[in-house]
Structure 1
Amino acid sequence: MDTLCFHDGNITDLIESRTLDVRYDINHNLQMHSSLIRRLSQERELEGHLGCVNAVAWNSKGSLLISGSDDTRINIWSYSSRELLHSIETGHSANIFCTKFVPETSDELVVSGAGDAEVRLFNLSRLKGRGPEENAISPSGVFQCHSKRVKKLAVEVGNPNVVWSASEDGTLRQHDFREGASCPPGGSSRQECRNVLLDLRCGAKKSLADPPKQSLALKSCDISSTRPHLLLVGGSDAFARLYDRRMLPPLSSCRKKLSPPPCVNYFCPMHLSDHGRSSLHLTHVTFSPNGEEVLLSYSGEHVYLMDVNHAGGSAMQYTSADASKVMSFAPIVNGVELQSSASSGFPSGSLKSNVAATLDKCRKLVQIAEKSLKEGTNYFHGIEACNEVLDGHGRLIGPMLMHECLCIRAALLLKRKWKNDAHMAIRDCHRARRIDSSSFRALYLLSEALSQVSSMIFIVIGYLAIYDWQHDAKMTY
């Protein structure tokens, strides 16, 4: 942003922030600093597959990379040499969607899941002494108990005996290698595998308040590396579900549909929690390395990072009892909002001069954003300037400058009109009204944002009406 430094600050800013707040995690900010992110570039292109690559995963040391592809092959790559070590003909009859190294096996066991509804286990020790072209190897295990595509596999750190598979048939299964290495195909008369950990064939929800009805086609799953009893799944609706494996019923077969077990928490962005759009679904869910956050990726939507442990201002974490609260805000009585307002206090002593310099820098960034808004050009540039102020120095800037910056960012979002920009503008307007409940600018921008949201709803309704009319006309014809 011009010459005003990165939004997450330089080394001096980070040390100063740690001085002001002992809870400030300087190590995390150094590891994920924007200056490092901007230096990322492509180093090497690895060629070895004949189709789309759908899955990649590292081993625990980061020395090997495994990839799975539409060509039904698994490739093992060396990070140090950037060379293809093995290319395995898996025997899958459809696209491979997921691959994993099995932990604590000296990187000798790998597992794959594919569109043929099978999970296959391979022992790489059988390939020792062979070149990358000598790839004929029979699987050590074949699990055929799913009836639809297997989209994701999960492993537990330190556990070499168990792999979990999430499938579009609505079940998450637990495969224990100690109990057998094969099973009959799903749907056959001999299929009685008691390995269903989660039966969500009646688990999909259109909104948080709705009871589960349709089958939840599972797209992704993950197990926390720090608390392996926590299991996260996502599928064909908007809600990621967090389960405690210690609280789940015993493993069962799929002969009888079961009611979905209660989950610990639902995770979903507020504006998607009551959306009802049939095409909206999760494509990937995962825990952060420390297990404190979850990442949700949606089809045709944004990526969201949320806190596992507590719902703060930016974390949308729900239980079923929260349905009535997802769109509620603190009441305003006699012009005063009934919650704590932003603090205007500043640290004293020798840090005052540093605070003054920070405030001056933030004012310049706000001026840059205001200029972008007035000129009507490069809204993204202005939004980034506001982000630097609010995300990088939000604890220091004081309520008046924060109010101004929130209103400017809301106005820029409404001008940019990317997907969900109106919803984010509504969020900024409510934050501004917490500072000044009688702010005309915040109220005006809030009305503009709500108008944009309602217009989008009417457009969708219009498209649906046209579709229904065309469908009825075809049926009549």
Structure 2
Amino acid sequence: MISAIERKCERLRFGSLFPDILNEDRLVDSLECFQTLEGHSGCVNTLRWNKTGTILASGSDDRTVKLWRAGEEKHSLDTGHEGNVFAVEFLPSSDDRKLVTGAADHVVFLHDIETNTNRKWEVEGRVKRICTLEHDPTLWWAAVEDPKGVHQFDTRLEEPEAIIQGPETNGEVRDVKSVAVSEAKPHLIVVGFDETAVRLYDRRNFEAPVLTFNPLYTSPLDYHATHVAFNKEGTEVVVNHGCGGGVYVFSVNSSEDPKVMERFHAVLDQPREPVISSQALPHADLREIGSSAIRGKQFNQAIDYYSDLIHRNDPERAFRSVCHSNRATAMLLRRHRGDTYACIRDCVKALEIHRGNSKALFRLVKSFTTMEEADLARKCIQKFKEWFPGDKSGMMTKMENEVNQITNGENHETEPVEGTVDYQQRFCGSTNHQTDIKEANFFGSRDQYIVAGSDCGHMYIWNRDTSKLQGIWRADDHILNIVQPHPNQFMLASSGIDDDIVLWQPLLDRSDDYESRHISDPFEFIEKRREERFGAGFQLSLLRDITRREGQCVQS
């Protein structure tokens, strides 16, 4: 007999009539906790749906794995682990009868629930992630924190095979933190390490990575990957970076695309177009809204606002160019980690759209100066003098003096290494400092959203079409680590430090006394959390610096 919950979820199945009628943005905005699953007595470190989405498996610090169906606990497995369970997966083609688990005790188990038996393998480090593949039901892969790295297990063999060793940085082998295999392209496996770079391998040859995903401005140990995942088509990878790195999407197919710095040099080699005049630009009312947000130090709002304007793809080239350069201004002033390079990317794009954007070129000078890239800053200054002679404000002279006081920095790679892919999209707002299992996943019928956990215990969802923050939801009283989209319904399961699991789905009709978990003002929430983290002194210092620089970062 189908339960009420199962009937309700069926209406939200991807590809059904329901999502076709209602815009999925509205479904995301309507997400609420519709059930809390209680049964564990410790942090819930891992969640996995079976292939059909009828069963949810959960692993916990209490060393058990529980199976949930239609919101009810159907089975509790005493795993035999002597440490926190970090990973659980259904073994394909086993009728959901067999589960693979990994834990902090350096052990991997293959459990047969029906016969109540198991097989045991011992490794040399904590097992942080396990992944399986429908095409190879006898195999699975484990991210193990030991020098051997990724292990491949085969039910037909007695011992696992170490296939991908962690890279060596400063004489130390980096631990593996996460691993994922693409169902759509089963020869691809992506691995996240205790360092910034994430590596993509071909399972037919593990000697060297096919691609290395690495934000261009970073150093090897700036961040570490806490989670990696493929999209449905196997064409993109999402990475959640710890140490304040943010959430990134990389394209598997973009290795041949022109790199940002190649595009930078190419656009400066072309002739200038007529100078963009603020008075001649359309949509003065729209531009004023964004400018007002920047003047009010509401940089997150300004970035989201200009992202929305960019997404609209206005037919006026000059206006589109200014939207990119104004978003760059907001990022340059916000000063989150990675914002300076993001500003460079936006300014290059602005000049590609219209080479009469003087402010875009000026902000490139500011960004390269900030990154201590003196040669690149000087190139921009020279081009500014050539394209826009007669700088009456004297700002370029001041910048030239500032550039002359620096030498080229040694901490940033501005020219990509062969085989290295820069990010496609970057999402900020969530925090990832306190745990190393924090997830970020694709969500939506087209993978058009990114969902991630956060140290603040909240769930963040970004809209990839617009690059905007879609919303924030209170999900855990401490830290939210796990966010697992349902395989074929508009539904999520989340867990963290609390010992319960939260199930989320759209609630389009709610009573007046319903207590929503949706944060009404996400930007105010982010700023409050940032102030709590860094303190009022940091905020005052930042505002003083911004005030000093604002005259140099005016927007159109």
Q: Could you say which TM-score interval applies, normalised by the shorter chain?
A: 0.5 to 0.7
**Distance in 2 (alpha carbons) for counterparts of 1:328 and 1:205:** 30
CA drift at 1:382: 2.1
Pair 1:421 & 2:339 matched: yes
User: Residue 388 of structure 1 aligns with which residue?
Assistant: 308
Decide which of 230, 249, 267 is 1:305's aligned counterpart. Answer: 249
Query: What is the DSSP-based 3-state SS (H/G/I as helix, E as strand, rest coil) of the residue aligned with 1:125?
Result: coil
Task: Give matches, 1:452-467, under 5 Å.
Answer: 452-454=370-372
CA drift at 1:400: 0.3
User: Residue 125 of structure 2 aligns with which residue?
Assistant: 148
Query: What is the DSSP-based 3-state SS (H/G/I as helix, E as strand, rest coil) of the residue aligned with 1:46?
Result: strand
**Distance in 2 (alpha carbons) for counterparts of 1:226 and 1:281:** 26
User: Residue 262 of structure 1 aligns with which residue?
Assistant: 208
Judged with a 3 Å threshold, the aligned counterparts in structure 2 of structure 1 residues 364 and 30 are, in CA distance, closer, same or farther, namely farther
What amino acid is aligned across from residue 94 of structure 1 in structure 2?
G
| TM-score normalized with structure 1 length | 0.66
User: Residue 340 of structure 1 aligns with which residue?
Assistant: none
Pair 1:237 & 2:224 matched: no
What amino acid is aligned across from residue 393 of structure 1 in structure 2?
R
Pair 1:64 & 2:30 matched: no
User: Residue 210 of structure 1 aligns with which residue?
Assistant: none
**Distance in 2 (alpha carbons) for counterparts of 1:442 and 1:30:** 41
**Distance in 1 (alpha carbons) for counterparts of 2:140 and 2:232:** 19
RMSD between aligned residues = 3.2
**Distance in 2 (alpha carbons) for counterparts of 1:304 and 1:280:** 12
Higher share in strand: 2
Q: Which runs of 5+ in 2 are unaligned?
A: 1-17, 274-280, 373-405, 412-556
Decide which of 186, 192, 204 is 2:168's aligned counterpart. Answer: 204
CA drift at 1:93: 1.2
Judged with a 3 Å threshold, the aligned counterparts in structure 2 of structure 1 residues 194 and 92 are, in CA distance, closer, same or farther, namely closer
User: Residue 288 of structure 1 aligns with which residue?
Assistant: 231
CA contact (8 A) 1:366 1:389 kept: no
Decide which of 116, 119, 123 is 2:108's aligned counterpart. Answer: 119
Judged with a 3 Å threshold, the aligned counterparts in structure 2 of structure 1 residues 163 and 276 are, in CA distance, closer, same or farther, namely closer
CA contact (8 A) 1:161 1:177 kept: yes
CA contact (8 A) 1:307 1:315 kept: no
CA drift at 1:328: 6.3
What amino acid is aligned across from residue 339 of structure 2 in structure 1?
D
What amino acid is aligned across from residue 368 of structure 1 in structure 2?
I
Query: What is the DSSP-based 3-state SS (H/G/I as helix, E as strand, rest coil) of the residue aligned with 1:60?
Result: coil
CA contact (8 A) 2:197 2:220 kept: no
Decide which of 269, 277, 284 is 1:333's aligned counterpart. Answer: 269
CA contact (8 A) 2:264 2:348 kept: no
CA drift at 1:29: 10
**Distance in 2 (alpha carbons) for counterparts of 1:401 and 1:114:** 54
CA contact (8 A) 1:306 1:315 kept: no
- Aligned positions, number: 351
**Distance in 1 (alpha carbons) for counterparts of 2:132 and 2:259:** 26
CA contact (8 A) 2:344 2:364 kept: yes
CA drift at 1:105: 0.7
1:137-175 Cα offsets, whole Å, 9 max, x none, are: 5x411011x211111111011432111111111322221
Query: What is the DSSP-based 3-state SS (H/G/I as helix, E as strand, rest coil) of the residue aligned with 1:386?
Result: helix
1:84-105 Cα offsets, whole Å, 9 max, x none, are: 1122111111111111111111
Judged with a 3 Å threshold, the aligned counterparts in structure 2 of structure 1 residues 159 and 364 are, in CA distance, closer, same or farther, namely farther
Judged with a 3 Å threshold, the aligned counterparts in structure 2 of structure 1 residues 93 and 290 are, in CA distance, closer, same or farther, namely same
Judged with a 3 Å threshold, the aligned counterparts in structure 2 of structure 1 residues 83 and 28 are, in CA distance, closer, same or farther, namely closer
**Distance in 2 (alpha carbons) for counterparts of 1:178 and 1:223:** 20
Q: Which runs of 5+ in 1 are unaligned?
A: 1-26, 127-136, 181-192, 207-212, 249-260, 317-324, 338-358, 461-477
**Distance in 2 (alpha carbons) for counterparts of 1:44 and 1:400:** 49
| TM-score normalized with structure 2 length | 0.58
CA drift at 1:39: 1.5
User: Residue 143 of structure 2 aligns with which residue?
Assistant: 166
What amino acid is aligned across from residue 197 of structure 2 in structure 1?
F
Judged with a 3 Å threshold, the aligned counterparts in structure 2 of structure 1 residues 276 and 393 are, in CA distance, closer, same or farther, namely same
Greater relative contact order (Cα < 8 A, sep 6+): 2
